[in-house]
Every structure is written in C-alpha cells, then in structure tokens.
Structure 1
C-alpha cells in the first residue's frame, strides 16, 4: 500500500502510520472529536516540547490529552473525583476535564499546579487511535497560538503542515463546523469551575 496515494489509504493504515510516527517520538496532525489536533505521545517530553514549538506557545500553558476509556484516564490521574464520572456520563458534547494529581505523563504536559486537561474521546477515528496506541495522546488545536482553531483539514496553517511528521488522511475532505471542547476544572476539594462552555 502506498500512503502517498490517498485513494487507497484505509483508516486502518492511517492509524498504523500515525502510531508508528508517535512511537518514534514524532508529531502528528489528526482529526478529533472536536477540531483538528496536533498530537504526540503524552508520555514523551521531547515530543511534547516540539508541539509547543510548532504552536509557538509558551509551555506554561498546559496542553490537553485524549484517552479512549475510563480505565485509561485512571492511569494518568491519581484520584479521579466522583463528580468527574458523573460529568462524563451526562455530558453530550466533548468535554475536557482539568483534574488534579496528574501522573505518568511528560512533566512539561502537566500544569504548574499538578493538574492535567484530559478528555475521553468517543469519535471513531481518535478513539481507535488512542485505543491502539495504548497511551494518552496530546491533543491541542492545530493552529499557531493566538490564531483560530482549525475546524477542518483545509483550515490548517501550511507552517504547521510542514513541521509535523505525519498528517492523517482520515476526514481530510470534511467541510463542516467543529467546536473546541467544553473545559471544566474539578479540584480535589470538590470545586467545579467552568472554564469554557
């Protein structure tokens, strides 16, 4: 199979290629349950550093990561509060939770207060990618910091396309509106703060 021939690129092959790139410490561009994302292995500090560089973003602004399941989420957060599970069960739009006590992730991915933004994705492609990669995957909007998020593949800045190691084929043809996720911060003491609706 020739990845350069997009007519015969299957989703299966696309996922294999993306995983191979991330296993080598590479950075990918991929469609998520929200906007297009810049991704990498969330446990690899060097790869995370490159994501900050590509976005031209200050690394004190923590990045979000995606996982495929409740069980995987528990590998990266020391104590998931009950309210988090209630929210996950009842929200109908993609919602990123900022949770205290991040563990097993690249140190430069975690906020200064020890929290991490994490989301369980239900969208077919990104869910399968996370499931097959068996680790959290960084997911930050595919834009230069301060510019609008790339809702579709065609919105991605050429400067970003040039700097990543692999660009997924899946959903490149889409032309429809996508919104960034809601963001809710849950403190260990039970405080709930809505950061982005």
Structure 2
C-alpha cells in the first residue's frame, strides 16, 4: 500500500488525476485545492462544471478546517450513519473555487477507507472524489466495468482492490443554515 500511496501522491502533487478505490465506488480524484486539476476531471467526465463534485477528508479536524461552521447536526448524522454519508456544507474554505457550488456549498465525506485516509493525510488537503464514469452513465460496480477512456484519461490507476465489488455511492444529505435536513441521495 505504501508504494501505491507514494505513486498517487506524486501524481496529485503534480496536478494530475488518479483513479482509486474508496469506501464506496472507484473514484476519479485530484487535489481539491488545484483548480486546473478539478477542471481536468470535469473535462474527462464530460460533466457540466455547474454540477458539484464531492471531496473526501480523513477526519473531523480536516472537515473543520475546510468548513467555516460545521453544524452540530452534522456530527450527529455522521455518528449514527451506518453507510458512507456525504454532507453538503455551507461556506467551504481552502479548496479550488470551481469545486464550490453556485450556492456556496460543498459536498464532503469523511472517508472510512485505509488507503484514502492515508493518502489524504500525506496530501494534507481534501481529495476530490467522483465516480469513475462519464456524466449520465451508470456508476461502475467493479473496476472491470470502468470505461477504457476513463482508464486512459487519468494519470495514474491505483493498483489496489481491483477485484472488489463496489458498494453503493454514499448517501448525500444537505444541511440548511436554518437547521433543515434534506436527503439528496439515499
């Protein structure tokens, strides 16, 4: 695993894209603070850049560093969540502007996956995570279902867990500044 982290980290630091396993599905990722790398993901996925991407962090400390005011409800939701859960937060900070949605929000998940946690820790910043498919196409359930053009479009494919069948994408919840909770994806 150490060698894979080093290779992926090198690519991320140079502004490249990686394809990597997560606690949900295979993801296309980049340094969340690198706007040019984020744009590469939108281009590769043929995705409208008005559709926000998810970021992964490795712990509450990193979450709090990139969200001005984490609502108390977020901690409650994350503590009781059975499945990987992404929360949309207001007023993100310290990430590329083209990751921030038009309403000044960002979707963030505290990842529970050993490779991802270590990679994020060494990178020192959030990692973009979006499913390894073209916009509008089904999310691959395994590595072998990933389109060849996606495989060729990234700078590095992490050589771990290629035989693992993916879980479902994360639940996405939006927390309103008024305290409201809205489930976007179950």
The TM-score normalised by the length of structure 2 is: 0.98
Deviation, structure 1 residue 177: 4.3
Using the alignment, how far apart are the partners of 2:167 and 2:92 within structure 1?
A: 28
Using the alignment, how far apart are the partners of 2:87 and 2:112 within structure 1?
A: 15
Tell me which residue corresponds to 1:179: 168
Q: Secondary structure at the match of 2:86?
A: strand
Deviation, structure 1 residue 163: 0.9
* Bigger mean CA offset, 83-92 vs 41-50: 83-92
- Number of aligned residue pairs: 186
Q: Following TM superposition, where does structure 1 have runs of at least 4 consecutive aligned residues deviating by more than 6 angstroms?
A: none
Using the alignment, how far apart are the partners of 2:32 and 2:14 within structure 1?
A: 13
Deviation, structure 1 residue 151: 2.1
Deviation, structure 1 residue 191: 1.1
Using the alignment, how far apart are the partners of 2:50 and 2:65 within structure 1?
A: 23
Gaps of 5+ in 2: none
Query: Is structure 2 residue 123 aligned with structure 1 residue 133?
Result: yes
Matches within 5 A, 1:106-145: 106-145=96-135
Gaps of 5+ in 1: 1-10
Q: Secondary structure at the match of 2:41?
A: helix
- The question of whether the paired residues in 1 share the 8 Å contact of 2:173 and 2:184 is answered with yes
Matches within 5 A, 1:1-197: 11-174=1-164, 176-197=165-186
Using the alignment, how far apart are the partners of 2:141 and 2:87 within structure 1?
A: 21
Q: Secondary structure at the match of 2:15?
A: coil
Using the alignment, how far apart are the partners of 2:44 and 2:158 within structure 1?
A: 17
Q: Secondary structure at the match of 2:172?
A: strand
Using the alignment, how far apart are the partners of 1:103 and 1:135 within structure 2?
A: 11
- The question of whether the paired residues in 1 share the 8 Å contact of 2:26 and 2:166 is answered with no
Using the alignment, how far apart are the partners of 2:126 and 2:66 within structure 1?
A: 8
Q: Secondary structure at the match of 1:139?
A: strand
Using the alignment, how far apart are the partners of 1:113 and 1:76 within structure 2?
A: 16
CA distances 1:80-120 after superposition (whole Å, capped 9, x unpaired) = 00000111111011000001111111000010000000000
